[in-house]
Amino acid sequence: MTFRNLMVTILFMIMLFFLVAGNCFSDELDRFKGEKQILRISGGTAHIPVMKEAAKRIMTFNPDIRITIAGGGSGAGIKQVGEGLVDIGNSGRKATEAEINKYGLKMIKWAIDGVAAVVNPKNRIKTLTRQELQDIFSGKITNWKELGGNDKPINVYTRDKASGTRSVFWKKALKKSDITNKANVVVSNGAMKTAVKNDPYSIGYISVGFINDSVFAIVLDGVKPTLDSVKQGHYKVARGLYSNTKGDAKGLAKKFIDYLLGPDGRKMVLEKGFIPVN
């Protein structure tokens, strides 16, 4: 085999790769051809990274489509989609019986996500038991010293009532025990991450998909909250990520959700730190 032949073979393979890759790419996005509408999405803040990525890809493929993404929390997402203010309302918890009946909602679960207690990376405390976690959030333990850390008061951060992350954490990690009224309240997963990252004596909780080096995920009862431990069911504080529509999804909303559930969407979900559902 001459050098020339080798070059031709490599070139051919590169071309083949692009042909195949290009095909896969366009197959997935082909359904958005010819669409010209606006798609409004709001609600759960854990969903936002995936929503943004999907919106970016779709709008690059077809610039005639406009996709707007807002936060607000799961409660807001459910309420707004029910009232017809948005096309897709995201929630990080199941819609309640009452909400489903009132608005005729259809839920689609496209990912599984964990909720982890997080502290500042500088904090010496890396593990907690569930009881200790409850005592911290209820205000019984108020100083890191009591847990073997520095002599600093604990700054507890929580989310507002509309948060699906809060409702899952409260139910599954805190077992519905009280959250102290001295806790600071922030309004999104992103804001929680910023707050914990900036405050060395803080504790809060965020979606596992949001965890990176800037915050430390507490090992709870010996289990570290990671993609794997959530997937295998070892880490119990987990929930589904849902997209809700009023009635069955139609038009662009349906195509968007189908895209999330397709191979491209699943890959995207995984890249953003969540577990795609089958």
Partner 1 sequence: MDIKETIFKSIFFSASVFSAGITLFISGFMIVLALPILKQGLFFDMLTSPWAPDHGLFGLGPMIVGTICIAFMALVISFPISLGCSFFIGILNPKGLGKWLKKMVESMTAIPTVIYGFVGIFLLVPLVRELFLKGSGMCILSAAIMLSVLISPTMILFFVDSFARVPQSDLNAVDALGGNTVQKFFYVVLPHSWKGMLTGIILSFGRAMGDTLIALMISGNSVAFPGSVLDSARTLTAHIALIIAADFDSIEFKTIFLGGIFLYIMTSASIILTKFLFRKKNNK
Nearer to partner 1, 79 or 255 (CB): 79
Give min distance, CB of 86 to partner 1, in A. Answer: 13
Interacting positions 219-238 with partner 1 (CB under 8 A): none
Binding-residue pattern over the window 173 to 212 for partner 1, x denoting contact by CB under 8 A: -----x-xxxxxxxx------xx--xx-xx----------
d(C-alpha 131, C-alpha 134), whole Å: 5
d(C-alpha 83, C-alpha 62), whole Å: 28
**Class of residue 270 by CB neighbours under 10 A (exposed 0-12, middle 13-18, buried 19+):** middle
Nearer to partner 1, 37 or 184 (CB): 184
- Report the candidate in 30, 28, 56 with the shortest Cα–Cα distance to residue 41: 56
Give min distance, CB of 271 to partner 1, in A. Answer: 28
Give min distance, CB of 200 to partner 1, in A. Answer: 8
Q: Rounded to 5 degrees, what are φ and ψ at 204?
A: -150, -160
Binding of partner 1 by 161 (CB under 8 A): yes
Interacting positions 95-154 with partner 1 (CB under 8 A): 99, 153
256, 191 in Cβ contact below 8 A? no
* Count of residues in contact with partner 1, rule CB under 8 A: 28
Nearer to partner 1, 115 or 183 (CB): 183
- Report the candidate in 116, 117, 114, 111 with the shortest Cα–Cα distance to residue 47: 111
Binding of partner 1 by 72 (CB under 8 A): yes
d(C-alpha 275, C-alpha 124), whole Å: 30
d(C-alpha 113, C-alpha 208), whole Å: 6
Interacting positions 73-102 with partner 1 (CB under 8 A): 73, 75-76, 78-79, 99
The token pair at 131 is 């009881």
Nearer to partner 1, 114 or 164 (CB): 164
Give min distance, CB of 254 to partner 1, in A. Answer: 26
Binding of partner 1 by 218 (CB under 8 A): no
Q: Tokens 């073997």 identify what position?
A: 148
Give min distance, CB of 185 to partner 1, in A. Answer: 4
**Class of residue 180 by CB neighbours under 10 A (exposed 0-12, middle 13-18, buried 19+):** middle
d(C-alpha 249, C-alpha 243), whole Å: 10
Nearer to partner 1, 196 or 260 (CB): 196
Q: Rounded to 5 degrees, what are φ and ψ at 66?
A: -115, 125
218, 116 in Cβ contact below 8 A? yes
Nearer to partner 1, 175 or 182 (CB): 182
Give min distance, CB of 214 to partner 1, in A. Answer: 14
Binding of partner 1 by 268 (CB under 8 A): no
Give min distance, CB of 267 to partner 1, in A. Answer: 31
Chain residues binding partner 1 by CB under 8 A are: 72-73, 75-76, 78-79, 99, 153, 155, 157, 160-162, 178, 180-187, 194-195, 198-199, 201-202
